[in-house]
Amino acid sequence: AADETRAAVMFASLSIYIIVLFALAFLNPFLAAGSNTTSHPLYHRFRRQSSCSQLQYRCANGDCIPSYSVCDGSKECSDGSDETRAACTATKIRCPMLAFECAYGACIDREQKCDGKEDCADGSDEICTQPSTSCPERTFQCSNGECINQYSICDGVIDCTDKSDETRNLCKNLKCAASSFQCEYGACLEMSARCNNKQECHDGSDEAGCPTPKPTFTEQPLNPVNVGNSCILPQHPQNGFYVSSQCGAGDSRTACRNIPGTPVPDNWLLKYTCNANFDISSTESNEYSVCSKGEWKNPLDCIKLCPPLEAISMKIDCEYDGREVPCTKRMKPNTTASASCKQHYREIYLRQYSNLTCLENGDWSHRLFYCAPDCGISSTLTPLISNGDPAILGQFPWLASIFMKNETDQQWEQQCGGTLISPHIVLTAAHCLVDETTGSLRDPENMKVGLGKYYRDYYKLENYSAIVGVREIVVPRFYSGRAAFFALDIGLIDLKTSIQVTAYIMPACVDWQATITINTGTTGYVAGWGATQNEAPSPTVLTTNLTYLDNGECIRSVRNAFQKLVTHDKFCGKSVENGGQVASGDSGGGLTIVEKGLHFVYGVVSTKITQETTISLFTDLSNIEHRSWLEEQKNRFERLHIESS
């Protein structure tokens, strides 16, 4: 009996231990709400300490380099950690259509592939031994897959290693000029190749049956060439070709085959064409060269062009040979470009040059410097805020309106607010981006973002507003919505195109370096299209101001039954009077504080406690896990996003 009693006690103790463990695991997020700790197990994978600025990338050895220098083929980190598969995978690099992808994931210009110079850090752009499966324009594909110049076939010389460029099947239908000699298998040679004691036909037929001594041929060509004034067809340009303008389609005369070394008569005209990203070397872009008294006038070549210079944040002027040229097209060497930041943008690095010059190799002498957008500037020096007061146009230029397509009538309706934090990134709440029923992200194609809008109506025309499509949305991996009391209620929207920053559309500032201290009692400002006193959405932007309460003070300010709603990553905004809460249409909007005259976004409208009429809950951006996740996602968007003018 004693043994049975001990066994029962042990079983009961073990059951209690298991129950306690389960309770601790389930309640851990909410137990943490009463403290100021910033640790949370859901976010350990995002933890990252960095002394580099928001526009920089931290190397493995701690060095800081510009973020745009990661995975570009050139090692900027002294330890080379910016040009590794790990770096390119972590930043989720995707090379654009006109780029070449190095073996480890970096992106370089496609023209740098097999150019004799290693542009990828691992040299993978110069691995060129495998035969092509298809050949470029103006080339001939040998039977074994090799590519040769199209003018090198049926000329008596073997160029394909499998000899497929000099076969009877390929050459038998050629019609040689009267002044030419035709090999037995069909190739065309100069008449002087016949019986000159040198085999020039691949099959040797030019030396077959020749008497000794060598006979003299007296046959005259149908169109004799004036030897004194004739020219020899030059080599084709390395990155282009020419055609004889006097030849029509199907003309099989030797001169019309455009084979270098062929004599042509006086006044023979060649028209040059260059490959993509190359252009005629002539200053006047004259594409013709003419044979004049034995010399080619205006001999031409194909030169590599520099890429266009475009930036939504810059004013760029380009000049070539004393003339203004468009910067949006590829430009010739010796083109110069001057750039400056547009209004509402500013330089943040001291540049060491005044102008850029297009070099002979098709590169610019310098990279364009970076113009950062202004942020947090309100149209009024002192915000005139009271409960439900109408906003002034331009007072909250970072305010974004998130529209969803109604599945029933396909009309666009305002559902949430947001905060512009870069020219193409909008901060909002996760619950605005996730379908509460299915738990999955909403379709970005059914979302649009309005910026600079004063009216809630999507279809209302406004002078200073813009409607932009959505490229991608993202929320924290472990966001669980209502089941977890809306913890981790934060999300980002990447727009399809960057927006031009103006006085009416401008990002709010973000305290990426956590240099500002915010204390309980600080005033925060919120704007949106939430419900008015009659519970109907406001047709125009309304504003309110709230008092900031940190997490601990927030928990103490609500009744015990509702303290579980104040999760570890929340703070409260409290209004002195009833009616100061945010409303449903405000969800996802930002709460900003003013520091040194600029608005910094510190919170995202998350939810409200219905029974607490003066308290609204905000996701706290000063939480280190949130700030780290935001910076990680922002940097990823910056790498993927194509700036559009």
520: left (phi > 0), else alpha (psi -120 to 50), else beta?
beta
Q: Token pair of 302, please?
A: 């194909």
Least confident of 255-264, 333-342, 616-625, 627-636: 255-264
Identify whether 268 is part of a domain: no
Closest of 354, 353, 301 to residue 332, by C-alpha: 301
Residue 109's pLDDT band (boundaries 50, 70, 90)? confident
pLDDT in the model for residue 448: 97
Burial of 80 (0-12, 13-18, 19+ CB in 10 A): middle
Amino acid 383: pLDDT: 36
Question: Residues 468-477: pLDDT tens digits?
Answer: 999 999 999 9
Residues 498 and 575 in one domain: yes
Amino acid letter for position 330:
R
Question: By residue range, what is the domain housing residue 358?
Answer: 314-373
Report the share of the chain in percent with pLDDT over 90.
Answer: 36
Same domain, 359 and 411: no
| 502 and 363 within one domain | no
Residues 441 and 568 in one domain: yes
Give the chain's domain count: 3
Instruction: Clarify whether residues 458 and 602 are in a common domain.
Output: yes
Q: 556 and 617 share a domain?
A: yes
95, part of any domain: yes
The CA distance from 169 to 183, in Å, is 13
Mean local confidence (pLDDT), 104-126 = 80
Q: How far is CA 137 from CA 127, 273, 407, in A?
A: 22, 12, 48
Q: Collapsing DSSP states into helix, strand and coil, what is residue 151?
A: helix
What b/e sequence results for 307-321 when a residue is b if at least 16 CB atoms lie within 10 Å of its CB, and e otherwise?
A: bebebbbbebebbbe
Residue with tokens 């590829």: 330
Phi, psi angles (nearest 5°) of residue 336: -115, 150
Q: Average pLDDT of 365-391?
A: 71
Q: Do 585 and 618 share a domain, yes or no?
A: yes
Average pLDDT over residues 509-518: 91
- Regarding whether 340 and 437 lie in a shared domain, the answer is no
Cis peptide before 41 (omega within 30 of 0): no
The 3 state secondary structure assigned to 149-177 is EHHHCCCCCCCCCCCCCCCHHHHCCCCCC
Whether residue 284 is contained in a domain is answered as: no
Residue 15: predicted pLDDT: 47
- Shared domain for 416 and 533, answered yes or no, is yes
Quick check: 628 pLDDT over 70?
yes
Phi and psi dihedrals of 492, rounded to 5? -130, 145
Q: What is the pLDDT of residues 161-201, one digit of tens each?
A: 888 888 888 887 776 766 678 899 988 887 888 898 888 89
Same domain, 495 and 536: yes
Place of tokens 């810059």: 314
CA distance 171 to 185: 6
Element (H, E) at 541: none
Residue 40 has pLDDT above 60, yes or no: no
Structure-block tokens of residue 136: 């470029």
**CA nearest 88: which of 639, 641, 642, 644?**
639
**Is the same domain home to 498 and 565?**
yes
Taking alpha carbons only, the member of 337, 344, 346 closest to residue 368 is 337
Q: Does residue 511 fall inside a structural domain?
A: yes
Cross-strand partners of 68: none
Mean residue pLDDT of the chain comes to: 80
Asked whether residue 643 carries a pLDDT value surpassing 50, the answer given is: no
| Calpha distance 155→46 (Å, rounded) | 65
Q: Which residues pair with 172 in a beta bridge?
A: none
Q: Does residue 553 share a domain with residue 417?
A: yes
pTM for this predicted structure: 0.60
